[in-house]
Amino acid sequence: MPNSPLHLLVVEDSESDFELLSLRLAGRAFAADLSRVETEEEMRAALRVRLPDLVISDHSLPRFSVGGALRVLREHDPDTPLIVVSGAIGEEAAVDSMIAGAEDFIVKGNLSRLVPAIVRSIGAATARRRQREAEATLRERDAMLGSLAANLPAMMFRLDYDRVMRRFNLPYAGEGSTRMFGLDPASLRADPVALLRLIDADDRALFFDCLAKAAESGAELTWQGKISVAGGRWVQLSAKLREPELADRGSSSTHAVWDGILYDITDLKHAEAEIRGLTAHLQEAKEKERAEVAREIHDEIGALFFAVKVDLAWVKKRVSPEPTILERLDSIGSLIDSGVQASQRIVRALRPAVLDFGVVGAAEWLASDFSKRTGIACTFTSEGGEPSLRPELGTAVFRVMQESLTNVSRHSGASAVAVRFDLGREAMSLEVLDNGRGIGPDDLAKSASFGVRGMRERALELGGALEIGPAPQGGTRLALRLPIRPAVDAARARA
């Protein structure tokens, strides 16, 4: 009960009965403030001033009745309780009052139940108000979610997967299904296989594989694939396993249920393809510029060094044999030799000439050069001979190996590296294994890991894939796989 006095409105034409009620409620566990009305007009006026906590009404008054009191009260509030306190009126009239909405019926000659009835009725009214507020909040939330779901470029759903039968249904599909697939939610719920029929054949197996694995492990469900809508669209599915099913996944339950969203990522895929194409173009331009700079250094700077050495030899034959002069000339010769060696290192870094003679030879030279420069043992093996590849494929393999070995020397703490190159009929692969401290997800997730990103972009642009992670025996493993296709096929893939 509230700490402040209860406000009770009494519909009663007898002053003495009203006084009796006041005396009956005085000194109880709660304080009560009573006011009396006799007519409908008086009751309406009292309700406009203040809504009572409870109404006590006589059953029948000369100008009013309990039915009229209930009607007026409900016009102002649906939950305020009303108790009938009247003389003996018969069982049928008492039942009619209760059916009409009265909380209780108490005979004036026996008011012992009045206080408990007031406490119970106010408690019930409070519960009704809370339930009404909760229902209103729920309706508002449902309306908001419905509006949000209807306007999203996506479909909200609930997916129920049977682990034993390996099939699914959609107990709920949002309005976005019409916009995304041309299927209204009711038809999609009735025939969930309609969604499966829209998925490209190559992606259906992956979709079911993701379902089975997520159901088995109790994990979130994620999947990307293409659907045959509007010339082909890319979609992504993301869903969270519902808590009851998550708790029961170790029991005999055969179902897994996810709530999630399926949204269109076609524009994102196009943007990624454009960025990848731009990256490849910039990479190609950079490689071309490197080759031009390397040739410039090799031809122009190399020729200048050679001419200076010839002139220096001519000068040495014609100057006096004074030791200090000969010593200075020898020093100049040493500086020229150092310059020649530096220019050769720069040329090899920009564009190793060995690449012109094949990717296997270039990779073998790179492994040997790495060992000499770093002191880290590096073995190289190859299978399949020296392939005849498009320049961009050979350059990609060389640069990925170069970046991988650079990362080994900088970060791994390894003492040995093994590089293996395999050439198949349709694809070639490069594997780099080191015995260092290894690599973890946090290392790969670093925002500054541009080397790894660059290697992945090279592989993706050429239709291949790059994996990097812990090696089975410790250390780090990098695996590059590239398809061998004619240049026209690669250009078509980029388009």
Lowest average pLDDT, out of 5-14, 33-42, 210-219, 321-330, goes to 321-330
pLDDT of residue 343: 81
CATH class of the region 357-495: alpha beta
* This prediction's pTM: 0.46
Under the phi-then-psi rule, with left for phi > 0, alpha for psi from -120 to 50, and beta for the rest, what region is 54?
A: beta
Task: Tokens 């080397």: give the residue.
Answer: 451
C-alpha dihedral, 449 to 451 to 453 to 454, nearest 10°: 150
Interval 418-422 mean pLDDT: 92
Q: Name the strand (E) or helix (H) holding 36.
A: strand 32-37
pLDDT of residue 245: 42
Average pLDDT value over all residues in the chain: 82
Interval 233-245 mean pLDDT: 81
Structure confidence at residue 354 as a pLDDT band (50, 70, 90): low
Q: Taking the alpha carbons of 120, 123, 127, 133 in that order, is the dihedral positive or negative?
A: positive
366 in Cβ contact with 398 (< 8 Å): yes
Alpha carbon 185 to chain centroid, angstroms:
24
Residue 16, judged by CB atoms within 10 A of its CB (0-12, 13-18, 19+), counts as exposed
- Round to whole Å and give the CA distance between 82 and 107: 14
Lowest average pLDDT, out of 251-255, 365-369, 472-476, 477-481, goes to 251-255
Buried/exposed code over 125-159 (b: 16+ C-beta within 10 A; e: otherwise): beeeeeeeeeeeeeeeeeeeeeeebeebebbbbbb
CATH class of the region 6-144: alpha beta
Interval 221-236 mean pLDDT: 86
Backbone angles phi, psi at 324, to 5 degrees: -65, -35
Which position has the higher pLDDT, 72 or 486? 72
**Of the candidates 425, 372, 431, the residue with the CA atom closest to the CA atom of residue 400:** 431
pLDDT of residue 355: 65
Any idea which architecture 152-264 has in CATH?
2-Layer Sandwich (3.30)
Interval 132-153 mean pLDDT: 78
Q: What is the 3-state secondary structure (H, E, C) of 157-190?
A: EEEEEECCCCEEEEEEECCHHHHHHCCCHHHHHH
Lowest average pLDDT, out of 9-13, 46-50, 279-283, 422-426, goes to 279-283
Backbone angles phi, psi at 299, to 5 degrees: -80, -55
Task: Tokens 């009956």: give the residue.
Answer: 24
Which position has the higher pLDDT, 286 or 139? 139
Distances (CA, A) of 348 to 283, 293, 352: 18, 11, 4
Residue 488 has pLDDT above 90, yes or no: no
In tens, the pLDDT along 26-54 reads 866 678 889 999 999 999 999 999 999 99
In tens, the pLDDT along 392-401 reads 788 888 888 8
